[in-house]
């Protein structure tokens, strides 16, 4: 265990500047173009629903399970008071989770803790798997977790570093697009039960305020992550 812990917290050397730049461009292309986004958006949904689940536990709501669907949507089932701070914070956490996870991951990469980041992702996926309540969601989490485990066990350190930066940029950029998609759906009145509209019903603030808040946090996370991973710093 001592050897494993030492390996876990060991800091890797700083990456070559091209690793940071190329991984950012690839992640931006994945999020921008329709086909790769549709294929990978489910990973953002995992982070989104994980945010709901973590906040539900922190606010002492009863967490009944998570469902991930093939259309990249998801739902986190909780039980407790239908109003109050716990419900508000739980609803608020979903759209913020990918961006804040990306910012935390950016800090870990800035510190050189690539191995710790990869094992942290694996632990997150395992915890999600314990909470999943449908077959498709279980398959997605098993596939994702298997890929992360294989990366941690068999990939060289340089490959782990490249993948880690790609994942961080994907979380940061991928945290922005669902918010923009949410606002487009709200303008067309196609998202009456979205997190923003649920928050509007729980509080005195309009749904548009929460969309703006989501976007503000996501944008600040991108800026903060870029500052932390700046190859020229």
Phi, psi of 231 (to 5 degrees): -70, -15
DSSP 8-class letter at 83: S
Closest by Cα among 221, 207, 195 to 90: 195
pLDDT digits (tens, 9 = 90+) for 167-195: 999 999 999 999 999 999 988 888 788 99
What is the structure's pLDDT at 27?
Answer: 97
What is the structure's pLDDT at 132?
Answer: 95
Long-range contacts formed by 85-90: CB under 8 A, 24+ apart = 85/59, 86/56, 86/59, 86/60, 86/61, 87/61, 87/202, 88/199, 88/202, 88/203, 89/55, 89/58, 89/59, 90/52, 90/55, 90/56, 90/59, 90/61
Percent of the chain clearing pLDDT 70 (strictly above): 100
What is the structure's pLDDT at 190?
Answer: 81
Does pLDDT of 56 surpass 70?
A: yes
Residue 189 tokens, joined: 């009145």
pLDDT digits (tens, 9 = 90+) for 9-50: 788 888 889 999 999 999 999 999 999 999 999 999 999 999
What is the structure's pLDDT at 85?
Answer: 93
Angle between helices 114-131 and 157-174 (to 10 degrees): 60
Longest dimension (CA), the chain: 56
Mean pLDDT on 135-163: 94
What is the structure's pLDDT at 58?
Answer: 94
């Amino acid at each position: 265990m001592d050897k494993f812990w030492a390996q876990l917290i060991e800091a890797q050397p700083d990456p070559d500047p091209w690793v940071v730049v190329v991984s950012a461009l690839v992640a931006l292309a994945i999020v921008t173009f329709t086909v790769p986004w549709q294929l990978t958006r489910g990973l953002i949904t995992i982070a989104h629903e994980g945010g709901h689940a973590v906040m539900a536990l922190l606010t002492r709501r009863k967490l009944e399970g998570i469902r991930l669907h093939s259309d990249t949507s998801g739902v986190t089932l909780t039980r407790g008071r239908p109003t109050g701070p716990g419900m508000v914070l739980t609803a608020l956490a979903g759209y913020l989770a990918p961006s804040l996870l990306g910012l935390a991951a950016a800090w870990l990469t800035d510190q050189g803790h690539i191995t710790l980041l990869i094992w942290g992702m694996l632990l997150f996926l395992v915890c999600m798997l314990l909470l999943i309540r449908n077959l498709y969601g279980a398959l997605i989490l098993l596939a994702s977790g298997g890929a992360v485990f294989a990366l941690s066990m068999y990939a060289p350190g340089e490959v782990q570093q490249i993948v880690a930066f790609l994942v961080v940029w994907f979380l940061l950029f991928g945290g922005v697009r669902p918010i923009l998609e949410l606002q487009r759906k709200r303008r067309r009145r196609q998202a009456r039960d979205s997190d923003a509209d649920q928050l509007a019903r729980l509080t005195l603030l309009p749904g548009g305020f929460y969309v703006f808040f989501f976007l503000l946090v996501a944008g600040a996370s991108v800026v903060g992550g870029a500052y932390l991973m700046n190859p020229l710093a």
